[in-house]
Chains A and B, each alone.
Chain A
């Protein structure tokens, strides 16, 4: 109920439409964004059971062009660019020399001379400076295209049905983690089969001038499928149920990708890259300082970030992200623990002055339904 001064916040082209749709707006990463429309629970369930539309235009985009583009990204990022084909998308981390994470991001490849990165809103300008700084000895052209790019996410089991009626490419021929250029009712768009919810769905990159038109069209087309606009509140509960990391919670400049269970996107065999040496040392020493696990509460309560976790009174870690799970109807948390990380272990989460019992469970909390 505290009213922050919103006049210094950035807004997406959809701000008026959000207000029209009854959004509750809150400051997020310097943007005035909808946290909810009808309510986090109903929006969450709408995405799991039907289809939802998110405005994620606050996300940053960085374009990399030039004859060294591929080699540069191979040096800049932890994942292996060699495996990428034109039209594919890859999840990767961008690390400091220390092994800490600058950001996690998606790499989009048009050709080996042309890529773009989709980065977190909260890190967008930091990332751009970092990428520029690392590029000095490469023949590449780097451009922050965030201001000329809007982004929508259409997610849920009916996402394909809704979008197929509006776009000119065959979505059946678009596999998970691939993208095509297409038209959504004559609006040029990058259509990417990706998302942050664990449901089948698409992320659409398009011009800020056209994004309102497309948003309205999709809402109209989705009406028979029960589509709802979805805020950042449900975006967070959906990603926590999937165990997807969020920069600032599970990953940061301190926990390394290995701590966060993201070793699968750190490709030591690909050759030199930023952070490799430090991460390799950590890996060879088998030094796991902490481990990210899923905790499910066995009693009533909601774990929240920074709540303490203990075993028989001895501290073992803390919650990185926690929420009430709308699907499981219980409290869940992504937690860093220094021991007792085995599946099935019982730990206690300190909620105010009470110890609430919880169990270490396998991630994701809810099975993923993306179209692999």
Chain B
């Protein structure tokens, strides 16, 4: 299982790649492995405002439906349209081509309450 060091994480298995006042968000390798084959991803429209901790999208595998939660309070500036026709990118490249949304932070200290890679690894161990 891959958990890159340079990302932030949530206990709900989202990852956050920060860059200045923006970030890219997706679900982790652990999450995609637990879900199995992803067949559908529902994402918000550009411009949507997200509240930290609230569901902003849905990822469906053949057998399950799971919410995706906003790791931070933010505005959606870009959505990965490739996932409409290739939802399997979430399985094959969760931290790369399987990214879901790009956001602009709406509050300061966005990394507050997010997990480091080391903390997230501990989290996953408990759930395996």
Contacts and interface: CB of A to CB of B under 8 A. Distances in A.
Interface in A34-50: 35-36, 39-42
Contacts of A304: 65
Contacts of A42: 37
Interface in B1-46: 34, 36-37, 39-40, 42
Interface string B58-69: 101111010000
Contacts of B62: 40-41, 233, 237, 323-324, 326
Contact of B84 (A233, A300, A331): A300
B127 A233 contact: no
Contacts of B127: 1, 3
Contacts of A301: 40
Contact of B36 (A3, A40, A300, A302): A40
Nearest to A35: B63
Interface in A292-345: 300-302, 304, 323-324, 326, 331
A301 B41 CA distance: 9
A36 B40 contact: no
A39 B40 contact: no
The residue among A1, A24, A39, A300 with the most chain B CB atoms within 10 A of its own CB is A1
Contacts of A285: none
B90 to A, nearest CB: 13
B58 A352 contact: yes
Given A41-B62, A352-B58, A300 B40 contact: yes
B34 A36 contact: no
Given A1-B127, A300-B84, A352-B58, A39 B37 contact: yes
A324 B40 contact: yes
Nearest to A323: B62
Nearest to B85: A300
Nearest to A39: B37
Contacts of A331: 40
Interface residues of A, number: 21
A302 B60 contact: yes
B63 to A, nearest CB: 5
Interface in A246-303: 300-302
A331 B34 CA distance: 21
Nearest to A232: B63
Nearest to B31: A1
B36 A324 contact: no
Contacts of B63: 35, 40, 233, 236
Among B61, B65, B127, max chain A CB count under 10 A is at B61
A301 B42 CA distance: 9
Given A301-B40, A324-B40, A1 B34 contact: yes
B40 A233 contact: no
A324 B39 contact: yes
A68 B65 CA distance: 50
A324 B37 CA distance: 10
Interface string B65-84: 10000000000000000001
Interface in A14-50: 24, 35-36, 39-42
B37 A41 contact: yes
Contacts of B34: 1
A358 to B, nearest CB: 15
Interface of B: 34, 36-37, 39-40, 42, 58, 60-63, 65, 84, 127
Closest CB pairs A-B (n = 5): A324-B39, A40-B62, A41-B37, A39-B37, A302-B60
10 contacts: A1-B34, A40-B36, A40-B37, A233-B62, A301-B40, A302-B39, A302-B60, A323-B62, A324-B40, A352-B58
